[in-house]
Structure 1
Amino acid sequence: MKQDFYINLQAEEETQLTAYEKEASHYTFYRTICFFALIFTFAAAYDGMTIAGIMGVLLLMLFSWLIRQHNRIKKQIRFIQNALAVTADYLAHFNGNWQKLADKGNDFLKADRPQDIDLHIFGQTSLYQYLCCARTALGRKKLAQALTVTPPPADTIRQRQEAAAELINRQLLCVELLALSRQLPAGHDTAPLINEITADSQRHISHMLQRTAWILPILTVCSLILAALNLLNWQIPGLLVLLQFAIAMLFQRQNQAILAPLLTLNQELHAYQSLFIRLGKTNFTSSVLAKLAADLSQNGAPALQELARLTDHVNLCRNLFFYVFGNALLLWDCHCAARFSRWQDNAAQNLSGWLEQWAAIELYISLAMVGHTRKQYCLPQILTGSPQLKTTALASLLLDEGKAVPNDTSLTSETRIITGSNMSGKTTYMRTLASSLVLAYAGAPVCAEEFACTPLHIFTSIQVHDDQSQGISTFYAELLRIKQMVDFSQKELPMFICIDEIFKGTNSADRIIGAREAISRLTRPYAITLVSTHDFELCDLQSPNNIPITNYHFAEYYEENKIKFDYKIKNDRCQTTNAQYLLKMAGIL
């Protein structure tokens, strides 16, 4: 089972974490012993013991090595902790806890797009919440844009499917990439930083200052060596040191303005660098992923490595001791400003493109989530020609796989009137079809054995609410929804229409009259229209043209005086009702 893969991976990660934490504690002990040994050896050297001085130098080298090794172990611990968090998120998709994941995509809900709520595209227990693995704001945005009710070009869908299909078979790689990306803060937005780094800056340091920043430090170091050998008066290197520090102070404001974008970038740059390098180590078969990985590893990784190293050097000046001596001896800030200016000239224009490419990878990993966590799935086939939607064993992604009841469907240009008792599955059936179309347009797998469709513009009227602030009743709100469908139908573009309990907000006589007219207007050769209703009078509708109007239904059955449902769609109209039974269950009758 797929769940077993993540359970076993979690156990391995916990074992590795325990081992690394034990190793880290050893390094802490070794560093402490080495530090005290350093103090004693240098104290002895100060008292004139030559051998102690030599031992002190060796211990200092050992201490530096221990620090590097300890930092490497701590980096591994952070990675494994992140990997455990990623694995826990994957496991949450098997036990229903994915509904507790923090990113629900509420910020992408649009008031003028009711399908977002009707189909649970965004918000609590939504398609977005189930799929989203993106750590960056740009990756989140790409996923939100992919979850659309307007079909994109078929080539775009197939390109995403190709990438998602390969990543489905690379579960471990996806966990590693997501663990590395957790070095970034949640919802990481690089837009302000990109604007700072890529902006045409007029604050580049002059060529004269750049040459001075090389000549003066060389002269200073040479003079210090000569003075140490008693070949030069100490006043000369002293004057050169003062001169350099004065120059550093003179250009401090300019250098700080140039280097300001780098002061908060350290962690992010190292994270992106690690991601790009990891992608470069993977041999992708998908042309989409191979192209992205090649560009990011061959061009993006070296450039970001250079910038990350520069950022490390800039941050050294946060230490007051280093700031004084680095600028007094080496004009450190001037060198860093010059290096950053050169980096801006050579690579800054590509930065936004590299981050955009990583956001695309985040999108593809998110689309692969269905394949990673569902036993039954398929990649939809995109058809051409007149409207079609064909499914075999299609179930909702948002329902527990063990409890969801799949249905087969074959739709062409037609209007389907769906009747059935309360809670029998009418709304879930329509919502499953429409939301699966959204997944298909995104390039994600759907929960079915087979799924094929032509591109269709999706319109829904399912969860309709009044708006007191605008003086709009529930009935009028539904009228506006259906008017939008009728208006769009004048464009003669392919449509998929779902209307749940049509005109439920008014009396039965007006409802039937209005429903007949609305259904007549939406029965078109370029539309697949599904209408659920409790009004059996609508089952006798005649088509205004040659497009068929057909009847289907859901039904209940009773066992031991208890109502039950099989949630299977059946031909013809419903012959039963259950409202009185439910009223009795609720204690009203």
Structure 2
Amino acid sequence: MKHTQEKRHFYEAIREADLCTIHELQQRSSRYMALRTGTFLTMVFAFAAGYDGHPAGTVLGLLLLIFFLLLVRQHNRLRQQQQLLACHLDATSSYIDRFTGKWKDFNDNGASFHRADRPQETDLHIFGPASLYQYLSCARTQRGRQRLARSLATSPPAPAKILARQQAVAELIDHPRFCLNLMARAAMLAKGHDTTSLLAEIEKEPPSGSHSIVRYRTAWILPVLTLISLLLASFDVVSWSLPGLLTGLQFLLTMLFHRHNQEVLAPLADLTHELHHYEALFRELEQADFASTTLSGLQQRLRTGGASQSLRRLARLADCVSLDHNLFFFVLANTLLLWDCHMAVQLSRWRDDAASNLREWIDIWSEMETLLSLATIGHTRTTWVFPQLAAGSPSLRARSLSALLLPEEKAVPNDARLAAGTHIITGSNMSGKTTYMRTLASAAVLAYAGAPVCAAEFTLSPLHIFTSIQVNDDLSQGISTFYAELLRIKQMVEFSRQEQPMLICIDEIFKGTNSADRIIGAQEAIRHLTRAWCITLVTTHDFELCDLNSPNEIPVTNCHFEEYYEDDKIRFDYKLKPGRCQTTNAQYLLRMAGIITDEHATGN
């Protein structure tokens, strides 16, 4: 797997560069801290000298104060660089984890998106531990996670949507560094950051009169008059009672409008940092050089609405509102400037200008998170291809298809050439029957999401995916394993009556009952599911099913997996072969486990 190693080395080289840069920034940060400390102490002594009657000390102290503030500003910028670089390192490490298998330890496995009424999600490991979602997900926000989960559907969307996503994902695969930069900026957001409440607050009708002309003019006129009166009073032009009266009036107005202002400013509560991060993300997208129609279209929608500029305005406004958390600032700013009234007016004007676009911008980023997630296959696998969509009768064709959830160097690729009909798959235990079905169906799920699949070639028509693989009983409902499987197959039969194209995967059909009933029931179920619009895969150990005749001229074919023995050990090549299986390995495995002896096996 030479190419796999090359991809891994690409990300390892980036990680090493990040670590070196982080070390350099830490050293710079230490120097800034030492310089800040020295400047502050020198400034204190300079002001002390000025207090003792040395004017040069006061001048020096002021210069040092300015220098200290500049140092603080630069140091804060350096810390932001350190934080962003740490996020970049985490994003790079997450790609490396997909090569080493540590992706199974990712915190977000999407288990919360699993629905009990969609058993395919369990059968195909779409959500939960060691799932497709866990491998793919680069989504940081709640809306991005939800959109990615919706994209991993077992029913096909419109072909145009699939092709549009393929186009975007293909371009992202060609620019791994750009993807890393986006993921690093997104990682500045809190995990699972949810904008639902923000959108609800922004989009709901604001309190009446929140930016009336009277309030707008008052927010400017009174503070201007107050400051002028203070200036005049300091030169004894007017009495100090005038600025005292005006400041008292402004504080009274602040208290009068306090509740109303808080209702208007509620959307900005505790969102200062998040808004700055969204602004940076939108700026990255607006400045990118996209070639695909899909990504260019998303970019144009951001540019047309001025997303980054509008978010910058909102973020700065949130910064100003957050200053109110300091009681001293609240009293001083509102007494002199009617601060809250002015902020409420500014937010109301922003809502008039941009609020209607905010949901669209957030949705664009959630779509980008989905596209970044789907692109991870191309970034971390050597063999991959974008599926081609076929029209007409049901079909699924693959060459060198392997499972995404298995390490690439260990996954054994297989071919498939499936059309309408039933395919009975036999084979020894552990020979690969179930994995083969899961791989086919999972690849279809990825294809419908617009992602590449791990194959040299892959073509399929739109198919609704139904599975009965991992079936469990339910004691709380009094449902046995057999009855649970029966309900699943009943659902398949009922859906098939709609004559919509289906991909049906049934593992060890009716394994929960006795052999006589199992064979009779399986024969009848297969006859119901052998239709011109169904591709039906059934694995079984019952060779009697291999002799089924087609009930309606729709073909019933046999294929199998087999084992071989080497150095008195059982081996598997995991390659699908035509025809029915001629061997079994149950007694061999029982003997290996010590459950039966050679004498007992011979006697039988």
* TM-score class, shorter: over 0.9
Provide the TM-score with structure 1 as the length reference: 0.98
Q: Which 10-residue stretch deviates more, 25-34 or 164-173?
A: 25-34
Matched, 1:378 2:378: no
In structure 1, what residue type is equivalent to 2:491? Q
Query: Match of 1:95?
Result: 100
Q: What is the Cα deviation at residue 325 of structure 1? A: 1.6
2:123 to 101, 118, 123: 118
SS in 1 for 2:325: coil
Cα deviation digits, residues 337-386 of structure 1 (max 9, x gap): 11111111221121111101100000000010100110110100011111
1:452 deviates by 0.5
Task: Tell me whether 1:499 sits opposite 2:503 in the alignment.
Answer: no
How far residue 205 of structure 1 moved from its aligned partner, in angstroms, is 4.5
1:318-337 pair list within 5 angstroms: 318-337=325-344
* Residue 157 of structure 1 pairs with residue 147 of structure 2: no
What CA distance in whole angstroms lies between the structure 2 residues aligned with 1:486 and 1:237?
84
Q: In angstroms, what is the RMSD of aligned CA positions?
A: 1.2
Find the counterpart in structure 1 of residue 410 from structure 2: 403
Aligned-residue offset at 1:326? 1.0
| Greater shift in the superposed pair: 97-106 or 196-205 | 196-205
Q: In structure 2, how many angstroms separate the alpha carbons of the residues matched to 1:35 and 1:292?
A: 49
Identity among equivalent positions (%) equals 56
> For 2:415, what is the secondary structure of its paired residue?
strand
Moved more, 12-21 or 29-38: 29-38
Map Cα deviations across residues 93-114 of structure 1 (whole Å, 9 max, x no partner). 0000001101111111111111
How far apart, CA to CA, are the structure 1 residues paired with 2:238 and 2:14? 66
1:220-242 CA distances to partner (integer Å, 9 max, x unpaired)? 22222223333333332233222
Residue pairs, 1:283-362, within 5 angstroms: 283-297=289-303, 299-362=306-369
What is the Cα deviation at residue 55 of structure 1? 2.2
Q: Return the match for 1:194 from 174, 199, 216.
A: 199
Report the residue type matching 2:20 in the other structure. T
State how far apart, in whole Å, the 2-side matches of 1:399 and 1:540 are.
34
1:389-400 mapped onto 2 (5 Å cutoff): 389-400=396-407
Pairing of 1:180-259 with structure 2 (within 5 A): 180-203=185-208, 204-259=210-265
CA contact (8 A) 2:207 2:264 kept: no
Cα distance in structure 1, aligned partners of 2:162 and 2:519: 40
Whole-angstrom CA distance in 2 between matches of 1:252 and 1:470: 56
In the alignment, the residues of structure 2 paired with residue 52 and residue 153 of structure 1 have an alpha-carbon distance, to the nearest angstrom, of: 75
Pairs aligned (count)? 589
Residue in structure 2 matching 1:20, options 20, 25, 36: 25
Q: Quote how far apart the aligned CAs of 1:321 are.
A: 2.2
- What residue in structure 2 maps to residue 455 of structure 1? 462
Moved more, 376-385 or 240-249: 240-249
Tell me, in whole angstroms, the C-alpha distance in 1 between the residues paired with 2:62 and 2:383: 64
The one-character-per-residue Cα deviations of 1:233-267 (angstroms, maximum 9, x if unpaired) are 33322332222222222222221222122121111
Q: Which residue of structure 2 aligns with residue 44 of structure 1?
A: 49
TM-score by length of 2: 0.96
Whether the aligned pair in 2 keeps the contact of 1:380 and 1:450 (CA below 8 Å) is: yes
The answer to whether the Cα contact below 8 Å between 1:120 and 1:127 also exists between their aligned partners in 2 is: yes
Distance (whole Å) between structure 2 residues aligned to residue 34 and residue 321 of structure 1: 27
Contact 1:464 1:477 (C-alpha < 8 Å) held by counterparts: yes
Distance change >3 Å, CA 47–CA 230, structure 1 → 2:
farther
1:279 and 1:297 in contact (8 A); partners too:
no
Distance 1:263 1:28 in 2: 31
Shift of 1:483: 0.9
Structure-2 separation of matches of 1:58 and 1:242: 36
Rounded to whole Å, the distance in 2 between the matches of 1:206 and 1:60 is 42
Structure 1 residue 469, shift from structure 2 partner = 1.4
Aligned residue for 1:317, secondary structure, equals helix
Code of the aligned partner of 1:277: R
Check conservation: 2:207, 2:263, Cα contact below 8 A: no
Report the counterpart of residue 269 of structure 1 in structure 2: 275
| Partner amino acid, structure 1, of 2:355 | A
